[in-house]
């Protein structure tokens, strides 16, 4: 008699319940990464396209492509990409941006899909997609269709610009310059299922996220 009478060798193992997937929309420096961590909670997983893109940039094959296309000035003293120098080029020249995206986006797509599959296999209950181009490139990456909830973070333009200046050392106006390469914020807001107000301090942002999780029975 086996110890566990229900576990016979040929019995099918129950597949874990698929994770609930959040997609986070909002302007640059609106607090998407911050809110993503709050939405995921201690047991959930945040998948960041920016982090995956930064890792892809350091791949030796991509480094070589960058050097060949843009010259040594886009590499730092350590031979790795200087993201500030690259940003100066690609956010004022759509052709350069498109070439960079053609190298980086396939790697980011593969990384995020692999991580999502792994999370599902491991039984992770909640996944948050912190993917800035979630709507823009939906046809290519297919991630939008996997979202159960789309949330828009509402943060005043002036606050976003000021935070990017202080925390990232960006020039004033850089947020708007980069955002010109993205879908208008009004359209992102309209695509969302709900809006999280980030017009106050971090404490009220945290409370607003908690209130939405409660409303969704996910606290």
Ligand X SMILES: CC(C)(COP(=O)(O)OP(=O)(O)OC[C@H]1O[C@@H](n2cnc3c(N)ncnc32)[C@H](O)[C@@H]1O)[C@@H](O)C(=O)NCCC(=O)NCCS
Annotated binding site for ATP: 29-34
DSSP for the chain, please give it. --SSTT--TTSPPPPPPPPEEEEEEE-TTSSHHHHHHHHHTTT-EEEEHHHHHHHHHTSHHHHHHHHHHH-GGGB-TTSSB-HHHHHHHHTT-HHHHHHHHHHHHHHHHHHHHHHHHHHHHHT-SEEEEE-TTTTTTHHHH--GGG-SEEEEEE--HHHHHHHHHHHH-PPTTHHHHHHTTS--HHHHHHH-SEEEE-SS-HHHHHHHHHHHHHHTT--
Q: Exactly one of 8, 11, 167, 217 binds ligand ATP (CB under 6 A); which one?
A: 167
Long-range contacts made by residues 60-63, C-beta under 8 angstroms, separation at least 24? 62/103, 62/104, 62/107
Q: How far is the CB of 53 from ligand X (least distance, A)?
A: 4
Q: How far is the CB of 90 from ligand X (least distance, A)?
A: 5
Count residues binding ligand ATP (CB under 6 A).
16
CA 47/CA 37 separation, integer angstroms: 10
Choose the one of ligand ATP, ligand X, none that binds residue 197, judging by a C-beta under 5 to 8 angstroms depending on kind.
Answer: none
Residue 205 is a binding residue for ligand ATP (CB under 6 A): yes
Residue 23 is a binding residue for ligand ATP (CB under 6 A): no
**181 in Cβ contact with 92 (< 8 Å):** no
Choose the one of ligand ATP, ligand X, none that binds residue 30, judging by a C-beta under 5 to 8 angstroms depending on kind.
Answer: ligand ATP
Q: How far is the CB of 138 from ligand X (least distance, A)?
A: 13
Residue 188 is a binding residue for ligand ATP (CB under 6 A): no
Binding mask 119-158 for ligand ATP (x = CB under 6 A): -------------x--------------------------
Q: How far is the CB of 83 from ligand X (least distance, A)?
A: 4
Question: What are φ and ψ of residue 21, in 5° steps?
Answer: -115, 125
Task: Write out the residues near ligand X by the rule CB under 6 A.
Answer: 28, 49-50, 53, 57, 83-84, 86-87, 90, 97, 100-101, 104, 108, 132-133, 178, 181-182
Q: Which is nearer to ligand ATP, 109 or 160 (CB)?
A: 160
Q: Which stretch binds ligand ATP (CB under 6 A): 10-18, 25-33, 74-82, 97-105?
A: 25-33
Q: Which residues bind ligand ATP (CB under 6 A)?
A: 26, 28-34, 50, 132, 163, 167, 198, 201-202, 205
């Amino acid at each position: 008699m086996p110890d566990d009478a229900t576990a016979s060798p040929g019995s099918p193992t129950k597949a874990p319940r698929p994770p609930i997937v959040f997609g986070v929309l909002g302007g640059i420096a609106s607090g998407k990464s911050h809110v993503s961590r709050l939405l995921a909670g201690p047991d959930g997983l945040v998948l960041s396209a920016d982090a995956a893109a930064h890792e892809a940039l350091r791949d030796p094959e991509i480094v070589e492509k960058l050097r060949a296309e843009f010259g040594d000035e886009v590499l730092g003293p350590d031979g790795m990409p200087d993201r500030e120098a690259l940003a100066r080029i690609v956010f004022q020249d759509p052709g350069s941006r498109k070439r960079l995206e053609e190298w980086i986006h396939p790697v980011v797509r593969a990384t995020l899909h692999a991580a999502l599959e792994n999370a599902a296999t491991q039984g992770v209950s909640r996944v948050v997609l912190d993917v800035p181009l979630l709507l823009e490139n939906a046809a290519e990456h297919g991630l939008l269709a996997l979202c159960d909830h789309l949330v828009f973070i509402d943060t005043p333009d002036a606050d976003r610009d000021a935070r990017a200046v202080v925390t990232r050392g960006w020039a004033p106006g850089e947020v708007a310059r980069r955002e010109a390469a993205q879908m208008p914020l009004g359209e992102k807001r309209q695509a969302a299922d709900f809006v999280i107000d980030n017009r106050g301090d971090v404490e009220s942002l945290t409370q607003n996220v908690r209130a939405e999780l409660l409303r969704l029975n996910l606290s």
